[in-house]
């Protein structure tokens, strides 16, 4: 079987555009249909639902998904049969009676999570590795995809004054240009989706002007991508006085959007920088409103935030493990799915007036929590990298229970005193018992799919 990526890379650019557009047309047919606008209007109408309305809707939908999972999905049906044989009489219609589901269990037998009345040959297949490099195999029906992309159209584009008819750019991890390429184009135009796909692997300072010119030439009106890459584009544009296109919105996905990144992106592109949260499993999602607060999408999944040392629910304002029961995709239902992320619910409603639940913050991945010698779990440490430090970007790696290795990319203004200030800020958060080792590097390494990991634990695994 031919290596289609190698074939693609050998094509002249016009042929690459045709190939990308053909794939875009296929995606468009799966994602959108004649009911899309009706579905979008229904999503926007639900934004104003009360808590009682959402509770009633979730109770009904959850009952349907749990019954379908217990009776039609082989993995869960066998699980409940084994429990019954062992004398367990717990009711499957009570969510708390279901054990948490790990990603490893899903990876081990993905077909067992498909309902037995579904034919995977007629469904949309997707595989994703996230930040772990371990693939997940997922199937979605056309109806599920239509519902999901109606949600994204409503709560990402429409909230931000955009629509799928707009020309846009995405900065992502697809290998649209060979990594070794040292001259433009580092992108490909997709006619079907009106999309300029920008490579996340070629963002050197000397290439940024070409990226900005490509966006201007293709008349894109908004930009979506990894916040670390968006920040690099914006930072270099400001530092070098480059003429960045003025956009309607810049939307971060797949990584947390940090406060200093948000400010720099907004300054460079003359528009709000927005944060979103989601996953290929469609089990949980959120997007921020005009007040900069993350609102959950209840249709995607029911969220539980559980303690790190057990399955007790944590109170609002306290970070916990984000466990999701997927409600949108009832054909491959994931019940009490360990997303691998940590988050906290807000303690007060949002001033925007929407009835959607509010997240205080996405703390980061469970696997990437810093665990201090006295047992505290610490997530986002981005406040230590304030704009007053002459550092382009940094990564914290816990190598032993009492050692943090900090990779950082210094600016020309960096001095030893800045390093002392950084160490002091880290100690303020993790305590003086943790040894901090600074290491200057030319660039922070990305994962295989181009994502940036701000914190890595080599201990908490």
Average pLDDT over residues 401-413: 89
Average pLDDT over residues 386-415: 85
pLDDT band at 132 (very low <50, low <70, confident <90, very high): very low
Q: Which two tokens stand for residue 337?
A: 């799915």
Average pLDDT over residues 22-41: 97
Residue of higher predicted confidence among 395 and 116: 116
Residues 407 and 397 sit within 8 Å (Cβ to Cβ): yes
d(C-alpha 79, C-alpha 92), whole Å: 11
Average pLDDT over residues 103-118: 94
d(C-alpha 269, C-alpha 208), whole Å: 13
Q: What is the DSSP letter of 313?
A: B
**Mind listing the pLDDT tens digit for each residue in 142-195?**
999 999 999 999 999 999 999 999 999 999 878 888 878 889 999 999 999 999
Average pLDDT over residues 102-107: 91
Residues 293 and 287 sit within 8 Å (Cβ to Cβ): no
pLDDT band at 387 (very low <50, low <70, confident <90, very high): low
* Per-residue pLDDT, 369: 66
**Mind listing the pLDDT tens digit for each residue in 281-338?**
999 999 999 999 999 999 999 999 999 878 899 999 998 999 999 999 999 999 999 9
d(C-alpha 63, C-alpha 53), whole Å: 16
* Per-residue pLDDT, 389: 81
* Per-residue pLDDT, 313: 92
**pLDDT above 80 for 134:** no
**pLDDT above 90 for 257:** no
- Average pLDDT of every residue of the chain: 90
Closest CA to 373 of 334, 350, 348, 403: 403
Which pairs count as long-range contacts for 350-354, CB under 8 Å and 24+ apart, including other chains?
350/289, 350/291, 350/293, 350/295, 351/291, 352/289, 352/290, 352/291, 352/293, 353/48, 354/47, 354/48, 354/289, 354/295
The proportion of the chain whose per-residue pLDDT surpasses 70, expressed as a percent, equals: 93
The backbone region for 253, taken as left when phi is positive above 0, alpha when psi lies in -120 to 50, beta otherwise, is beta
β-pair type (249-252, 222-225): parallel
Residues 454 and 256 sit within 8 Å (Cβ to Cβ): yes
CA–CA distances in Å: residue 352 to residues 151, 289, 342, 346: 18, 7, 25, 14
**pLDDT above 70 for 107:** yes
**pLDDT above 50 for 201:** yes
pLDDT band at 364 (very low <50, low <70, confident <90, very high): low
Where are the extended beta strands (E) located within 374-434?
A: 377-378, 391-400, 403-410
pLDDT band at 450 (very low <50, low <70, confident <90, very high): low
Residues 6 or more apart whose Cβ sits within 8 Å of residue 272: 160, 249, 250, 266, 290
* Per-residue pLDDT, 1: 39
Average pLDDT over residues 221-236: 92
């Amino acid at each position: 079987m031919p290596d289609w990526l190698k074939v693609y890379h050998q094509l002249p650019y016009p042929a690459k555009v045709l190939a990308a557009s053909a794939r875009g047309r296929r995606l468009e047919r799966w994602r959108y249909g004649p009911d899309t606008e009706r579905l979008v209007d229904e999503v926007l109408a639900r934004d104003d639902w009360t808590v009682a309305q959402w509770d009633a809707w979730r109770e009904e939908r959850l009952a349907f998904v749990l019954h379908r999972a217990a009776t039609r999905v082989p993995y869960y049906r066998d699980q409940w049969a084994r429990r019954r044989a062992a004398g367990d009489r717990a009711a499957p219609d009570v969510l708390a009676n279901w054990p948490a589901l790990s990603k490893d269990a899903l990876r081990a037998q993905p077909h067992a999570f498909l309902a037995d009345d579904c034919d995977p040959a007629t469904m949309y297949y997707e595989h994703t590795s996230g930040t772990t490099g371990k693939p997940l195999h997922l199937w979605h029906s056309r109806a599920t995809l239509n519902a999901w992309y109606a949600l994204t159209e409503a709560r990402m584009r429409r909230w931000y004054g955009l629509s799928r008819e707009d020309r846009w750019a995405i900065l992502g991890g697809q290998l649209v240009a060979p990594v070794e390429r040292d001259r433009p184009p580092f992108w490909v135009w997709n006619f079907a989706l009106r999309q300029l796909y920008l490579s996340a692997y070629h963002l050197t300072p000397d290439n940024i002007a070409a990226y900005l010119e490509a966006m201007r030439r293709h008349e894109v009106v908004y930009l979506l991508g990894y916040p670390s890459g968006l920040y690099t584009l914006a930072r270099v544009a400001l530092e070098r006085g480059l003429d960045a296109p003025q956009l309607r919105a810049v939307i971060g996905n797949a990584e947390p959007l940090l406060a200093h990144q948000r400010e720099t992106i907004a300054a460079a592109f003359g528009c709000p920088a927005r944060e979103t949260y989601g996953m290929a499993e469609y089990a949980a999602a959120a997007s921020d409103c005009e007040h900069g607060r993350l609102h959950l999408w209840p249709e995607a999944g029911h969220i539980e935030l559980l303690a790190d040392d057990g399955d007790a629910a944590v109170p609002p304002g306290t970070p916990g493990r984000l466990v999701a029961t997927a409600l949108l995709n009832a054909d491959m239902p994931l019940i009490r799915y360990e997303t691998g992320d940590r988050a906290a619910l807000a303690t007060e409603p949002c001033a925007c007036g929407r009835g959607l639940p509010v997240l205080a913050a996405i703390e980061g991945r469970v696997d990437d929590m810093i665990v201090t010698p006295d047992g505290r779990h610490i997530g986002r440490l981005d406040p230590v990298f304030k704009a007053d430090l002459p550092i382009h970007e940094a990564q914290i790696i816990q190598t032993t229970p009492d050692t943090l290795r900090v990779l950082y990319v210094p600016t020309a203004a960096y001095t030893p005193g800045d390093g002392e200030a950084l160490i002091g800020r880290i100690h303020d958060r993790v305590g003086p018992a943790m040894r901090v080792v600074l290491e200057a590097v030319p660039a922070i390494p990305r994962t295989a799919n181009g994502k940036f990991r701000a914190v890595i634990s080599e201990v908490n695994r």
